[in-house]
Amino acid sequence: MNSPLKIHENYSLKHRNTLGLLASARYFVEVNSVDELPEVLGFARDKQLPVIPLGGGSNVVFGEFLNALVVHINLKGRSVLQRDQGRVVVRAEAGENWHEFVLWTLTNEAYGLENLSLIPGTVGAAPIQNIGAYGVELKDHFVSLEAMNIESGEIECFDRQAVCFGYRDSVFKGEKLDQYIITSVTLELDPVLRPKLGYGHLGDLIASRLDGEAPSALDISQAVCDIRREKLPDPSVIGNAGSFFKNPEISQELMDQLKKRYPNIIAYPVGAKWKLAAGWLIDQAGLRGVREGEVGTYQKQALVLVNHGGATGQNVLAFSDRVQQKVNEKFGIMLEREPRFYNGWVSSIG
């Protein structure tokens, strides 16, 4: 293929995933503009290989060898599209670092994402997962996204309804799985700060720091960052993919039963259901700080699985199976994994 693009063969992915897993791809390429994508997709078709889009590598678990073309999406750019009394519409290209984008919105007096500070990954990955933290989810501010259809090479636009957001879920993890590469995201933010401090101990931390004064957006962002740094290890120090399991939602009936057995259970009401803290469940199952070979749970937060050195994707998968089994045995609840698993030609979610 005559192309200025540099396509690498048998490329190590160890430094392309935050778990630091030993893995490699048959082919790897970095894309810096949307115009390069059709050529890349053509290469994959010629080789009869699947395409795996890759952002920051913070929500994936790779098998040892991916017989695929891994495409690192490095599209950059961010802008304010519209500003009026009621809203600020912003757009970011898919390769923008999510946390840096959040800080950019705050310096541009566009508020609403401060609770989502320091979530790892890129802007393009955010709607796939419908990222969320401290009572805020991406869908709360989502307007639309653009994505290239891998089969046709056409750019298509998806509005909020078309993306079908759910809890850590979207159409791109279901019906449209492996069919699109997201290229940009447009969000609607607020020109006036409206703090959301009711989830977890975020409000208490800010109140203790400010002695009752109203917080700025940067105050909230900094508090969120401090909480996350306290609970989550730095991937550059110890490999991890952040929260590894979703917080399960259960019925009122099951909640009543569990409350009798575990009065200190951590849970939050969500409509007619209750959302439990998966980290608490894992901790109560006696699995915080446990290590098996090169994989284990983080000492400070059982929800985080860590790679102590030479782990493979299969090691992580096997250990996560054990965590699910132990929690299910104790509470009758089957935890669902957050990261995407890739193994050879096959990928799976859940």
CATH number at residue 41: 3.30.43.10
- Asked, for residue 213, whether it belongs to a domain, the answer is no
Residue 1 has pLDDT above 60, yes or no: no
Q: Is 243 a catalytic residue?
A: yes
Query: What is the pTM assigned to this prediction?
Result: 0.91
- Domain boundary residue, one of 54, 73, 92: 73
- The total number of structural domains in the chain stands at 3
Instruction: Say yes or no: 99 and 152 in one domain.
Output: yes
pLDDT for position 231: 86
Q: Name the active-site residue from 16, 91, 168, 228.
A: 168
pLDDT for position 212: 78
Instruction: Say yes or no: 161 and 83 in one domain.
Output: yes
pLDDT for position 276: 96
pLDDT per residue over 106-147, tens digit each? 999 999 999 999 999 999 999 999 999 999 999 999 999 999
Instruction: Say yes or no: 103 and 161 in one domain.
Output: yes
Residue 344: pLDDT band (50, 70, 90) is: low
* pLDDT (mean) for 142-168: 97
* pLDDT (mean) for 277-293: 97
Q: Which of 95, 182, 183, 92 is nearest to 141 (CA)?
A: 92
* pLDDT (mean) for 206-224: 92
Instruction: Say yes or no: 249 and 333 in one domain.
Output: yes
| Mean pLDDT for the chain overall | 94
Q: Is 208 a catalytic residue?
A: no
- Asked, for residue 160, whether it belongs to a domain, the answer is yes
- Domain boundary residue, one of 73, 88, 107: 73
CATH number, domain of 111, equals 3.30.465.10
Q: Name the active-site residue from 93, 338, 340, 347.
A: 338
Instruction: Say yes or no: 57 and 83 in one domain.
Output: no
CATH number, domain of 325, equals 3.90.78.10
Q: Is 251 a catalytic residue?
A: no
Instruction: Say yes or no: 66 and 154 in one domain.
Output: no
Residue 350: pLDDT band (50, 70, 90) is: very low
% of the chain with per-residue pLDDT over 90: 89
Q: What is the DSSP string of 210-272?
A: HTTPPPPHHHHHHHHHHHHHHHS--TTTSEEEEE-BPPPEE-HHHHHHHHHH-TT--EEEETT
Give the domain range for residue 83.
78-189
Q: Are 65 and 23 a contacting pair, CB within 8 Å?
A: yes
Instruction: Say yes or no: 98 and 184 in one domain.
Output: yes
- Domain boundary residue, one of 41, 58, 73: 73
Instruction: Say yes or no: 341 and 268 in one domain.
Output: yes
Instruction: Say yes or no: 51 and 87 in one domain.
Output: no
- Asked, for residue 141, whether it belongs to a domain, the answer is yes
Q: Name the active-site residue from 58, 117, 184, 243.
A: 243
pLDDT for position 85: 85
